[in-house]
Amino acid sequence: MLIKNYYRKIFLFLIIVFSFSLFEGCTFARVFTQRNATFITVQDSTTVAVEPTKIESWHKVNDHNIRLYHDREKISVHKKAIDTLTSSVIGYNIRQYKKGYLPSLTPISRTRFNGVKILDFAIPGLYFYALISMKVSSEDPSYYPLYYYASSLGVWFSFLPGPWATYKSTFRLPALVSVKYRENTENRICVKDVVIDSVNTFKPEEYKSFGTYQKHIQKIRDPHDKGLFNTDLDKDLVKDELNKKLRDWGYVDTSGLFSRVYSNSYIAKCEVQSHSTIYVGSYECVIVKCLWVLLNPEGNKELFRFTSQDTSMWAPNYSTSESAERECVVRSMNTFLKNADVTTLLKQNYVAPKTDKDTISKAISITLAATDTINNLQDALQAVVTIKQNHFFFSGCIISPDGYVVTNAHLLSDATNSDIYVHFSDGDSSIAKFVRINSVYDMVLYKIEKPGHYKCFLPDSSLNIKLGEEVYVIGTAEELNLKQTMTKGIVSGKRKINDRILIQTDASINRGSSGGALVNKNGHLMGIINSRLVGDAIQGIGFATPAYYINNALKLNAR
């Protein structure tokens, strides 16, 4: 009997050593937590990146596990990628990349039952059964060590940190969405306006899991909390992002500047009609419904309307939701460009008008007295106004005492059929009526309805633009409260674009300054601010249309 108990003690001791030293205090199921998984993609030669999310606390974070976050990218050449998944990782993000396609992220989690987990009950059970069957007396010297180890094993058993589920061996990934690149027979296109109702279009929804989301069993947020949510979408950032993608997809001519204005590009407008963010566990995606309108290059004729609803790829909710929202609008634009009617319209031959004879058939005489001439920067500030149309604002220049205002044609939505509101430096405002437009020179003329004698510019007719000359930009910066903002720079260069000269300057040009004035140190109008280059590595590159084009383009007779 003593010999039998002796072997049982050895057996118990080996179980303890086996459990604590070999498995480092974790469950027996840990041995079986790693498995090879095959990811099957729809498109061939797709890059599959397997990124682990959170590691459970029971898994010891050693060098091996730290390397889970590095060098995980694999190339699937034959529509398959194989990687090793670890069940101590709560979930993985499976990213797909392929040239010519929009990227995708697929979250995966542990869904397969881990049968080996039953051994977590078997080992402590065998230990206690052997311990009880030995009937060890408390007077036995081995009593306390055995029960000490038993209690330790019990603690180990009570936590059972190993997972009850593991990962499947095969995952079929969703198909990627192809990008609509411009065909050689298609005309150019750019996005002119983006309209977003930041409050009324936004609706958040939350689900407990992907299972409840697929079944639409929604976990509703507190109605009081819904009022706290608001969209992060900024119409200017969205517009810049859309036009950047159009450049990448070949719809904007990157061989020269200002193709939107000077290369007969069609115009697209986007209105975000509804916008919702779906929250599922630690992930989120964005669903956006957009109305797209295609206009002719002059922007005065609607050619086609199209509504699309698109969903962004899933993203961890610790990432910026704003980028997911913009990415969703980009997907909507891609759907718009794929529409057969849009493709057909962009393939039609378009001949740009050489001149706007219908609107510029008779010269307008402008008489300026000696006292009307601006000779200092203080008066120049008063001759620059803020123009507001719908949700957008920009700048304009008064060029006559009775209130003629000139600005860029590309800034306006249907310039020939809509009025604008002009805000003056003193806080007053007035409606202005359309007079004439010259799309070739990107200029439009309006007449202020409110009677008055206005400070005005005499457009400089000199062709002598001196490089390095000190110049100032006057316009509205970012918002209406920053109207008549002045920045300083020099003439950086003269650029020839389609037989026309543009003045390049390093003076700061902010959103809203377009259509404003480029003046010299005496306040004389040298040009109309036309555009700026935007980018992470671009600084101090702005352009203005020379003032000597104004009289000929709009057929004015100033004296």
**Model's pTM, two decimal places?**
0.65
Name the token pair of 353: 């008008």
pLDDT per position as a tens digit, 106-162: 998 888 887 766 766 666 666 666 666 666 565 665 555 655 555 555 555 544 556
Which range, of 133-137, 238-242, 481-485, 514-518, averages the lowest pLDDT? 133-137
Distances (CA, A) of 103 to 50, 173, 449, 517: 14, 12, 52, 43
* Rounded (10°) angle between helices 321-338 and 340-347: 70
Instruction: Name the CATH code of domain 364-558 (choices 2.40.50.90, 2.40.50.100, 2.60.40.790, 2.40.10.120).
Output: 2.40.10.120
Spell out the CATH class of 189-347: alpha beta
Name the token pair of 84: 């090793």
pLDDT per position as a tens digit, 274-319: 888 888 888 888 888 999 999 887 776 789 999 999 999 888 875 5
Taking a C-beta distance cutoff of 8 angstroms, is the pair 195, 139 a contact?
no
In this prediction, residue 65 carries a pLDDT of 36
pLDDT per position as a tens digit, 36-46: 888 888 888 88
Banded pLDDT at 259 (limits 50, 70, 90): very low
Banded pLDDT at 460 (limits 50, 70, 90): low
Question: Could you give the CA distance from residue 194 to residue 433 in angstroms, rounded to a whole number?
Answer: 24
Is the four-CA dihedral 332, 335, 340, 344 of positive or negative sign?
positive
Name the token pair of 523: 């306040």
In this prediction, residue 175 carries a pLDDT of 92
Of 420, 475, 485, 512, the closest CA to residue 236 belongs to: 512
Question: Could you give the CA distance from residue 82 to residue 71 in angstroms, rounded to a whole number?
Answer: 14
The percent of the chain in helix, strand and coil, each rounded to the nearest 5, is: 25, 35, 40
Residues paired with residue 352 on neighbouring β-strands, in sequence order:
none
Q: Which helix (H) or strand (E) holds 487?
A: strand 485-497
Query: Which segment, 100-104, 301-305, 498-502, 539-543, is predicted with the most confidence on average?
Result: 100-104
5 exposure class (CB count in 10 Å sphere: 0-12, 13-18, 19+): middle
- Answer yes or no: is pLDDT of 382 > 60: yes
User: Running DSSP on this structure, what letter comes out for residue 73?
Assistant: E
Question: Could you give the CA distance from residue 418 to residue 420 in angstroms, rounded to a whole number?
Answer: 7
pLDDT per position as a tens digit, 504-515: 998 888 878 889
In this prediction, residue 320 carries a pLDDT of 52
pLDDT per position as a tens digit, 209-226: 777 777 766 655 544 444
What is the residue extent of each domain of the chain?
Answer: 1-176, 189-347, 364-558
Give, rounded to a whole angstrom, the gap between the first and last alpha carbons of the chain.
Answer: 126
Residues paired with residue 86 on neighbouring β-strands, in sequence order:
34
In this prediction, residue 57 carries a pLDDT of 47
Identify the residue with better confidence: 492 or 9: 492
